[in-house]
A = this chain, B = another copy of it.
Amino acid sequence: MANRKKKITRNYLMHPEGSVLITTGDTKVICTATVTEGVPSFLRESGQGWITAEYGMLPRSTNVRNNRPGPTKKANGRSSEIQRLIGRSLRAAVDMTKIADYTIQIDCDVIQADGGTRTAAITGACVAMQDAFTWMIEQGKIMDNPIREMVAAISVGIVKGELVVDLDYEEDSNADVDMNVVMTESGKFIEIQATGEKDTFTLEQHIELLQLAKDGIIELIELQKKALK
């Protein structure tokens, strides 16, 4: 039932245009937003900008050490899946025509992992991205805020028969069903990923979990807004 303590620290690093440390329980993720000129070739002359994300973990962010990525390490399916999710979620929150000809590169690096790193990354990255957009306005690169609505994400699941929100690693490992939900400020969904890790699930359970996620995300968006004041 644990809805863990959450904190968002802005301007965590000196170099990036936007940077945030987000913590939820023992999970700590650094999210940065880098503004670069130009867009990928498939968007050239489209009048649109682009947002892309990468996700990494420090080798000892977890209990057992992970090897560092590199030429001899097998491509990591989990990481690429997560960075695609982060990018998709943030793009859904932004009017891409307002950042025409710019790419926002999001980096989410897990310093310490205790479950929920991908949802924390989305929630923190949205704030770092807002800071980068504010910097762009100050620099005269764009006219007004391209974010249509704030976006946040949370995990929910069924653990030993109980519905749990914001699962820690222990809960996540024991979850029968695991869901990651991304939602906007106004309660519209951007992404729902529900997986029967150890068991299947019914439509009723699915809807109940979605309701729980909705409440958690609303709290997170309040936290984002407080941090951005």
Cβ-defined partner of A63 (8 Å) among B15, B71, B109, B184: B15
Are the C-beta atoms of A194 and B189 separated by less than 8 Å?
yes
Contact of A144 with B by CB under 8 A: no
Cβ-defined partner of A112 (8 Å) among B15, B59, B83: B15
Contact of A215 with B by CB under 8 A: no
Contact of A95 with B by CB under 8 A: no
Contact of A139 with B by CB under 8 A: no
Who on chain B is nearest to A200 by CB? Answer: B188
Distance (Å) between the CB of A48 and the closest chain B CB? 13
Who on chain B is nearest to A70 by CB? Answer: B69
Cβ-defined partner of A80 (8 Å) among B62, B80, B111, B192: B80
Distance (Å) between the CB of A170 and the closest chain B CB? 13
Distance (Å) between the CB of A151 and the closest chain B CB? 10
Given known A15-B112, A69-B69, A184-B200, contact A59–B54 (CB-CB < 8 A): yes
Contact of A40 with B by CB under 8 A: no
Binds B, one of A1-9, A116-124, A201-209, A219-227: A201-209
Residue-wise, chain A 171-189 has the 8 Å CB interface mask toward B (1 for contact) of 0000000000000100111
Interface majority SS on A: helix, strand, loop or mixed? mixed
Residue-wise, chain A 31-55 has the 8 Å CB interface mask toward B (1 for contact) of 0101010000000000000000010
Are the C-beta atoms of B32 and A60 separated by less than 8 Å?
yes
Bound-complex Cα distance A221 to B149 (A): 41
Given known A15-B112, A84-B77, A193-B192, contact A107–B30 (CB-CB < 8 A): no
Bound-complex Cα distance A196 to B107 (A): 22
Chain A positions near chain B (C-beta within 8 angstroms):
13-16, 19, 26, 30, 32, 34, 36, 54, 56, 58-63, 65, 68-78, 80-81, 83-84, 88, 92, 105, 107, 109, 111-114, 184, 187-196, 200-203, 206-207, 210
The 3 closest A-B CB pairs, nearest first, are A188-B200, A77-B80, A75-B75
